[in-house]
A and B are shown apart, each in its own frame.
Chain A
Amino acid sequence: MTIFDRLGSFFGRERRYDGSAAISCDDAVRRVQEFLDGELEDVSPEEVRAHFDACQRCYPHLRFEESFREAVRRAAGRETAPPELRERLLRLISEARSDG
């Protein structure tokens, strides 16, 4: 094995280890939605995560989508059924029960 082979395999292993060479920037960014949805099909979440963690260029894309989702979840998730509706339903349910 030449020194070049050794260097090659050394760096190859290094890059595989931190994940940044496992998938390309294109692949990572294209999959950002599926990644955040937990719905990746052909690559593992670890591979995608490793790429985003290691790649300065792609990381903001991940953060961008995360910021967006956090905002949507916060805004819409805070909505709750009005208390009158809850009380009305409880009443209707208990009425139905005593009828049946």
Chain B
Amino acid sequence: MPSSADGGAADASGERPGFAEEALPYLDAVYRFALGLTASADEAEDLVQETFLRALRSWDQYTRGTRAKSWLFTICRNVFLRERQRTRRHEEILSESVDRSGPARAHAVSPLWASVEDVDPEGGFFGKVVDARILEAIFELPEEYRTAVVLSDVEGLSYAEIAELVQVPVGTVKSRLFRGRRRLQELLYEHAVEMGYLPSAAEKGIAG
């Protein structure tokens, strides 16, 4: 690695901070976002590389003061969508059906909660599920849900920031987020029952 790699500030243009200094701190975040989009480590790597190269090329258009993280996420998502449009058009159509039941109905109590109310009302079983299984479960979510969950629960973006990034209304973000979380909770619950962290519904039936 050249020792001048950190020396962006010494560029002839001078007044702008170097790309590496501004963008690379978000490499892990962009990688996690790319994982959320692609649900594949290999694809995420390619996507991140392409994202940073494109960002570098359009570095002149980056306005200082905008959040570099959001800017990189936007580029990442655009690259991903363009790539996917080229390769797998049908998936987009498929995933559009995801939101049909409309927003806001997923607000109330998790339907799952009734299943654990007697044995683990505070959801301690979530903490027992190993990281790898949680990641797998995230990958199993429909893409729209997955993206919303990663951006909110992992990267801490606000509803409005996600809405802007994904180009949908805030209500849709909430709907995707809440449904995604519910679905993820179900997947983790099923796993916890399989692993014996929780009794199965049948066992509970016998006990009761």
Which residues of A are at the interface with B, using a C-beta cutoff of 8 A? 29-31, 33-34, 37-39, 60-61, 63-82, 85-94, 96-97
CB distance from A94 to the nearest CB of B (A): 5
What are some 7 contacts across the A-B interface (CB < 8 A)? A33-B107, A61-B113, A64-B110, A64-B116, A75-B135, A85-B45, A86-B27
Contact B127 A67 (CB under 8 A): yes
Known: A37-B152, A67-B124, A67-B126. A76 touches B1 (CB 8 A): no
What 7 pairs between A and B have smallest CB-CB spacing? A75-B134, A67-B123, A63-B122, A60-B121, A81-B31, A64-B123, A75-B131
Contacts of B8 in A (CB 8 A): 97
Contacts of A75 in B (CB 8 A): 129-132, 134-135, 138
Known: A67-B122, A75-B134, A81-B27. A96 touches B127 (CB 8 A): no
CB distance from A28 to the nearest CB of B (A): 11
Q: Which secondary structure characterizes the binding site on chain A?
A: helix
Known: A69-B153, A75-B134. A93 touches B27 (CB 8 A): no
Contacts of B124 in A (CB 8 A): 67
- Segment of B47-55, B61-69, B80-88, B199-207 engaged in the interface with chain A: B47-55
Contact B109 A87 (CB under 8 A): no
Contact B20 A81 (CB under 8 A): no
- Which chain B residue has the least Cβ–Cβ distance from A69? B153
Return the contact of B123 from the options A33, A34, A68, A78 (Cβ within 8 A). Answer: A68
